[in-house]
Amino acid sequence: MDTNLQGITPHLWFDKEAKNAAELYCSLFPQSEISSVTVLHDTPSGDSAIVSFKLGGQPFMAISAGPYFKFTPAISLIVNFDPSRDPNARQNLDKTWRALSEGGSVMMPLQEYPFSKRFGWVADKYGLSWQLMLTNPEGEERPLITPALMFAGKKAGNAEKALNFYLSIFHNARQGSLTRFSKGMEPDKEGTIQFSDVMLEGSWFALTDSAYEHGFDFNEAISFIVHCDDQESIDYYWEKLSAVPEAERCGWLKDKFGVSWQIVPTAMEEMMGMGTKEQIDRVTQAFLPMKKLIITDLEKAFKGGE
């Protein structure tokens, strides 16, 4: 079974600013562009714009769908500025920091830390959280941008469980680095994960624990799209990942750690990309009442069938 063809795409939820945010982010990184903008009509949020774009060659999606979810630092985006690939890595890091800081809020100031010669953590003016890091060029190359999941407060200690859980579900998956907290680093418990990363279907994710009571948690503001080629794949990921029945809607689900995923057929993405306004409207009205997406019903709606 070919369970996933296109990697896993981070999806960002905005109130009304998805296109403006995507334009800002594309202006900051090389190999970045907006691929398409599609408007869904008559959704529970009214007319919602879906923006597909690439940052550093990596796919992202964003939606303007109302003020229902706000970004939290529970999921942030690590940007690796690698001197071995970019001789101006430090200057580009500083330039990106200035742009993302404008109108935003600093969580960790830009300076030297034990783990990096240059690092800073900032939430931009839209609330999206970024960790900018001058990386050590030794070791296996990582992508420019890596989504980072922080298991904070009462969820601290779950990073390793989540790591193993995701490794067990995705077929093309492998663990990367792993560093544990040592004794004397309280409140973080000895042996919990200080930093780890994992490759799932060609996409890298970082996972960390933090026992501090930060007051934030995962929510739907950032979700991860799993692109599926057939109904068998959709059924597989839905069964393996969904753990919160009341969160199931329109192809969205929450796993047992509270992380949101979208299990989406590539056929629907093709319909939304190539369809007329009338076809897109019919597909939209077909998937809105669904929990798990059913490809045959979406195709019937696209073709105008009853």
Per-residue pLDDT of 42-69, as tens digits, reads 888 888 999 999 999 999 999 999 999 9
Cis amide leading into 143 (omega within 30) = no
Q: Residue 2 — pLDDT band, cuts 50, 70, 90?
A: very low
In the prediction, which pLDDT does 7 show? 80
Is there a single domain that holds both residue 144 and residue 131?
Answer: yes
Look at residue 3 and tell me if it is in a domain: no
Look at residue 2 and tell me if it is in a domain: no
In the prediction, which pLDDT does 45 show? 82
In the prediction, which pLDDT does 241 show? 98
64 conformational bin, left if phi > 0, alpha if psi -120 to 50, beta if neither: beta
| Interval 283-296 mean pLDDT | 94
Look at residue 145 and tell me if it is in a domain: yes
Residue 62 to residue 8: CA distance in whole angstroms: 14
Q: What CATH number corresponds to the domain at position 106?
A: 3.30.720.110
Look at residue 173 and tell me if it is in a domain: yes
Is there a single domain that holds both residue 104 and residue 228?
Answer: no
Domains of the chain: total: 2
Look at residue 63 and tell me if it is in a domain: yes
Domain boundary (164, 189, 210) is at 210
Is there a single domain that holds both residue 194 and residue 290?
Answer: no
Q: What CATH number corresponds to the domain at position 232?
A: 3.10.180.10
Q: Structural domain of residue 145, as residue ranges?
A: 75-210
Per the prediction, the chain carries an average pLDDT of: 93
3-state secondary structure 131-170: EEEECCCCCCCCCCEEEEEEEEHHHCCCHHHHHHHHHHHC
Q: Residue 138 — pLDDT band, cuts 50, 70, 90?
A: confident
In the prediction, which pLDDT does 3 show? 42
In the prediction, which pLDDT does 305 show? 59
Rounded to 5°, angle at Cα 207 from 203 and 212:
155
- Residue pair 100/124 in contact by the 8 Å Cβ criterion: yes
Q: Residue 131 — pLDDT band, cuts 50, 70, 90?
A: very high
Token pair in block for residue 154: 């009462």
Look at residue 235 and tell me if it is in a domain: yes
Is there a single domain that holds both residue 101 and residue 148?
Answer: yes
Give pLDDT tens digits for 81-99: 999 889 999 999 999 999 9
49 conformational bin, left if phi > 0, alpha if psi -120 to 50, beta if neither: beta
* 3-class state of residue 228 by DSSP: strand
Instruction: Please indicate whether residue 255 or residue 276 has the higher confidence score (pLDDT).
Output: 255
Is there a single domain that holds both residue 205 and residue 283?
Answer: no
Domain boundary (188, 210, 232) is at 210
Residue 266 to residue 258: CA distance in whole angstroms: 25
Residue-wise over 52-76: b if at least 16 C-beta within 10 A, else e?
A: bbbbbebbbbbbbbeeebebbbbbb
Instruction: Please indicate whether residue 55 or residue 269 has the higher confidence score (pLDDT).
Output: 55
In the prediction, which pLDDT does 6 show? 60
